[in-house]
Amino acid sequence: MIPAPFTYKRASSVDEALQLAAQGGDDAKFLAGGHSLLPLMKLRLAVPEILIDIGRIGELRYIRDDGSHIAVGALTSHDEMARSGLLGSELPLLAHAAGQVGDPQVRHRGTIGGSLAHADPAADLPAVILALDATLVASGPSGSREIAAGEFFRGLFESALRPGELLTEIRIRRPQAAGWSFQKFTKRAIDWAIVGVAVQGGSVALVNMGPTPLRASAVERAMSSGAGPRDAAAHAAEGSSPPGDINAGRGYREHLARVLVARALEESRSRA
């Protein structure tokens, strides 16, 4: 339960963080809220030699209306999103889901950038930004680039970020279809989702149904062909490969996905 020794460096700007990351190379890791990285370090599943603390870079902490889209800085905490009036009115799916992450301590420390960069398929926000078709902005030694949410999650705990690249901003266009829903099935209120579902209009994304967050494409196709929530939800497990673990077997997760997608589609329809 004690991490391996490491060198701690604190960055006060994006430029400084990128410089430190370039100097540290493969031995360095960014530290944001620390609520995923530090537990891994204590278990020695992650052993970075250099930790670059980005947690106090104020320029990455904001939620603002940029006209064509809403921009969320990577260091914005789950709690800030859950309480944001702008998100509440423009992107209620994101505000609501952020309020369902863990417990109050986790929501005050954890950041959207950390959650997405960590790429845990059991996390809530990756599926939400997938359903919202967000664009992620990453900065690295050779400048900034945009990555579509659908291209970002590459595998279990694996994202499209290159070594030394910092996720700086999440851009989300205002949804054209108003209906939304977020369903999260847990044993206890503060737990990770055994299965989760994020719906925005005709987009449906699944939590913990494979090595990455997934779009439930078969459900989306059924809906666009006119199927109702129950019939469309029958396709929820198609194309998924859910894990079996101490909380639930594969078959149970597949069943849950069908039940939760039906609930989500019905709730989304009632809000449209």
Among 30, 152, 153, 185, binds ligand FAD (CB under 6 A): 30
- Shortest reach from residue 272's CB to ligand FAD, in Å: 26
Q: Does 76 bind ligand FAD (CB under 6 A)?
A: no
Q: What is the 3-state secondary structure (H, E, C) of 95-163?
A: HHHHCCCCCHHHHHHCEHHHHHHHCCCCCHHHHHHHHCCCEEEEEECCEEEEEEHHHHEEECCEECCCC
d(CA 69, CA 134): 9
Residue from 70, 71, 117, 260 touching ligand FAD (CB under 6 A): that is 117
Residue whose CB is less far from ligand FAD, 222 or 256:
256
Task: Indicate whether 33 belongs to the interface with ligand FAD (CB under 6 A).
Answer: yes
Window of 18-26, 35-43, 215-223, 259-267 that interacts with ligand FAD by CB under 6 A = 35-43
The span of 101-109, 171-179, 197-205, 246-254 binding ligand FAD (CB under 6 A) equals 101-109
Residue 31 interacts with ligand FAD (CB under 6 A): yes or no: yes
Quick one: 131 or 232, whose CB is closer to ligand FAD?
131
Q: Find where tokens 């090595």 sit.
A: 211
Nearer to ligand FAD, 7 or 224 (CB): 7
Contact between 118 and ligand FAD per CB under 6 A: yes
Of the pair 38, 86, the CB lying nearest ligand FAD is at 38
Binding characters for ligand FAD, 166-205, by CB under 6 A (x = yes): xx------------------------x-------------
82 contacts ligand FAD (rule: CB under 6 A): no
Cβ distance to ligand FAD smaller for residue 133 or 191: 191
Query: Angle 126-132-99 (CA atoms, 0-180°, nearest 5)?
Result: 60
Query: Quick check: 37 binds ligand FAD (CB under 6 A)?
Result: yes
- Please give the structure tokens belonging to residue 175: 């949804």
Nearer to ligand FAD, 167 or 199 (CB): 167
Q: Sign of the C-alpha dihedral, residues 22, 23, 25, 28?
A: negative
Cα Rg for the chain, rounded, in angstroms? Answer: 18
Task: By CB under 6 A, name the one of 24, 113, 213, 229 that touches ligand FAD.
Answer: 113
Instruction: Find the binder of ligand FAD among 24, 110, 121, 201 (CB under 6 A).
Output: 110
Binding residues for ligand FAD, rule: CB under 6 A, are 29-37, 39, 74, 101-102, 106, 109-111, 113-115, 117-118, 123-125, 161, 166-167, 192
